[in-house]
Amino acid sequence: MNINELTIKECYDGLKKGDFTSVELTQACLAQIKKRNKELNAFISVFEKEALVEAERADEMIKSGKQQILTGIPFCVKDSISTKDGLSTAAAKILSNYVPPFDATVIRKIREQGAVLIGKNNCDTFGHGASNENSMYGPVKNPHDIKRVSGGSSGGTAVAIADNMAIFGIAEDTGGSIRQPAAFCGVVGLRPSYGINSRFGVMPMASSFDTVGPITKSVTDAKIIQEIIAGQDFLDATTVEVKNKKLKVKNKKLKVGIPQEYFEIEGIDEEVKKIIENKIKEISKNKDLEIVSVSLPMTKYAIPVYYIIVSSEDSSNLARIDAIRYGERKEGSDLYNVYAQSRAEGMNEEVKRRIMIGTCALSADYYDISFRKAQKVRTLIIQDFEKVFQEVDLLITPTTPTPAFKLGEKKDDILSMYLADIFVSPAAVAGLPAISIPVGLTKKKLPVGMQIIGPRLEDEKLLSFSNLIINY
C-alpha cells in the first residue's frame, strides 16, 4: 500500500512511529495529483510549494512532541470555502482572482492542528449542480469510470479522496453536495446537523441549508474531523453548542427505520435497490438492531421545496457578486452595463437559471404561491421526520437513485438532473445529519452508497451507528 492510500488514523500512527515523514506523505499526494489530475480535473489550484513548507513545519512539530491527530496530514478543500492566501473561486470566472485574506473557521481549526493544505477542489459553480458538469473550469470525472460524472457539487473533493490525492477533504453540502458525490465515488461523506459547524468563510448559496462537512476514506476519519471542526462560533450566529449523544445498544434494541417511499419511487435503479436491501438484510442479523418499516409521506415534496427556497436565497446571496473587485470585469457604457455584462459572462447558465427562479419566487406576484408555500411545506417535512424519530433511532435509505451516470447524459435534462438529489434533499430541508457510506459495487464496478439519517443534533449517534454498519 502506498502511504497516500492510508486513513487519518494510519497516517497519525505512521508519522508518530517515524515510518515516514509529513514531507514524504505530502510528496506522495502531490505525485498522485500530477499523475491523475489532468485526466480527472479534481483540483483547480494546487499549492505545491506552500504545502511542502507546511509539511516541513509539521515534521518539526512531530519531532518536538507536539503532534496532534491531524499534524502533517495533507488535505484538500472545496473551492467555495475560503483559505487564507489561496485562490478561492467557487469554480466561477467572476471570482477567478479572489484570494481571501482569512481562513474559514473550519479551515482555521484544521490548520491549527498542523494539517497540510494541498489544494482547492473543482466543484459545480457556486455549488449549483448534481454532476460537477457545471464548473466553469470543466467537468470532474469519476475515477472508477472517466466517462461518468463524479457527482456534485463537491465532486472534485470526492474524487481527490477516492483517488488518494489527499488523505481527507472538506466540502459543503446544501442539498446533497457532499453525500451524492461520495456515493458516486465510493467514499464517506458526512452532512452534519445544520448549525453544528460554522459557515463563516463559506461562500453562501442558501444560508438556511449550507453545511460544512468532511469527505473521508472511513467513518472513523469523518468522526475525527467532525470533532475538530464542530462548535459554536461568534462569527456565525446560526451555530450552536451541543452535547454528544452516544449510541446505546446494550440496554435496548436500536430501532432503525426503512422509509418505504425511498424504495418505491419511480426511477430507482434496481441494482442499487438490491444492494441496499441486501445490506439491510445483513445488518438485521445483529440481535441489538430492530429493523422496522416507516413512512415519510412528505418526502415527495422535498425537491420542489428545496429548489424554490434555495433559488430564492441564492438570488439574494449572489447579488453581492459583481466582478468589480475580482474576476472577469467587462466594460460597459455605464455602471449598470458593467454589472450586467460581468455577471453574464462570469456566471454559468445554471447559476443564472437559479437566480432567475429565485427572483421570480420572491416577487410580489409569486411570493405567496411559491416561496411562502414552500416554507410551509418545509415545516411539514420537518414535522414528518420529528414524528418518525419518536418511533425509531435512525433511518436507512439509498443515497442516490442510480449509480454515477455518463457525462452529458442529463446535462440538458434539467428536471432529471434535479431528481438525482431526490434522496439527499429531504434531510437537507429538515437540517438533519446524514451520511453516505459505500456498501457495494454494481456489475459495472460502480460504487453504491447507503444513506443513514439521524435526529437533529444527534450526530454522534449517527456516526457511531455508521461505523457499526460499515464494519459489519
pLDDT tens per residue across span 346-370: 888 899 999 999 999 999 999 999 9
**Residues across the chain:** 472
What is the C-alpha separation between 77 and 43, in angstroms, rounded? 9
User: What does the pLDDT read at residue 251?
Assistant: 45
Direct distance between the N- and C-terminal alpha carbons of the chain, in angstroms, rounded to an integer: 23
Greatest alpha-carbon pair distance for the chain in Å reads 73
Q: Is the pLDDT of residue 470 over 80?
A: no
Q: Is the pLDDT of residue 252 over 70?
A: no
Q: How many CB atoms lie within 10 A of CB 113?
A: 16
User: What does the pLDDT read at residue 145?
Assistant: 98
* Residue 181: pLDDT band with limits 50, 70, 90: very high
Amino acid at 388: V
Percent of the chain with pLDDT strictly greater than 90: 81
Place of cell 463559506: 202
8 Å CB contact between 216 and 121 = no
Mapping DSSP onto H, E and C, the string for the chain reads: CCHHHCCHHHHHHHHHHCCCCHHHHHHHHHHHHHHHHHHHCCEEEECHHHHHHHHHHHHHHHHCCCCCCCCCCEEEEECCECECCECCCCCCHHHCCCCCCCCCHHHHHHHCCCCEEEEEECCCHHHCCCCCCCCCCCCCEECCEEEEECCCCCHHHHHHHHCCCCCEEEEEECCCCCHHHHHHHCCEEEECCCCCECCCCECCCCCCCCEEEEEECCHHHHHHHHHHHECCECCECCCCCCCCCCCCCCCCCEEEEEECHHHHCCCCCHHHHHHHHHHHHHHCCCCCEEEEEECCHHHHHHHHHHHHHHHHHHHHHHHHCCCCCCCCCCCCCCHHHHHHHHHHHHCCHHHHHHHHHHHHHHCCCCHHHHHHHHHHHHHHHHHHHHHHCCCCCEEEEECCCCCCCECCCCCCCHHHHHHHHCCCHHHHHHCCCEEEEEEEECCCCCEEEEEEECCCCCHHHHHHHHHHHHCC
Pick the catalytic residue from 22, 78, 436, 466. 78
Pick the catalytic residue from 22, 150, 154, 177. 177
- Active site (annotated) includes residue 78: yes
- Active site (annotated) includes residue 342: no
**Average of per-residue pLDDT values in the chain:** 93
What is the C-alpha separation between 111 and 211, in angstroms, rounded? 19
Pick the catalytic residue from 153, 154, 218, 464. 153
Per-residue pLDDT tens for 202-241?
998 899 999 999 999 999 999 999 999 999 999 999 999 8
User: What does the pLDDT read at residue 250?
Assistant: 45
Place of cell 466594460: 331
Q: Could you give phi then psi for residue 146, rounded to 5 degrees? A: -70, -5
Least Cα distance to 229 among 246, 213, 211 occurs for: 213
- Active site (annotated) includes residue 153: yes
User: What does the pLDDT read at residue 106?
Assistant: 98
What is the C-alpha separation between 222 and 257, in angstroms, rounded? 23
What is the C-alpha separation between 223 and 242, in angstroms, rounded? 15
Read off the pLDDT of each residue in 284-310 and give the average, rounded to a whole number: 93
User: What does the pLDDT read at residue 68?
Assistant: 97
Read off the pLDDT of each residue in 401-420 and give the average, rounded to a whole number: 89
C-alpha distances (whole Å) from 42 to each of 35, 53, 133 are 12, 23, 12
Least confident of 51-55, 272-276, 340-344: 340-344
User: What does the pLDDT read at residue 249?
Assistant: 46
Domains and CATH numbers, the chain: 1-472 (3.90.1300.10)
All three cell numbers of 285, joined, read: 442479523
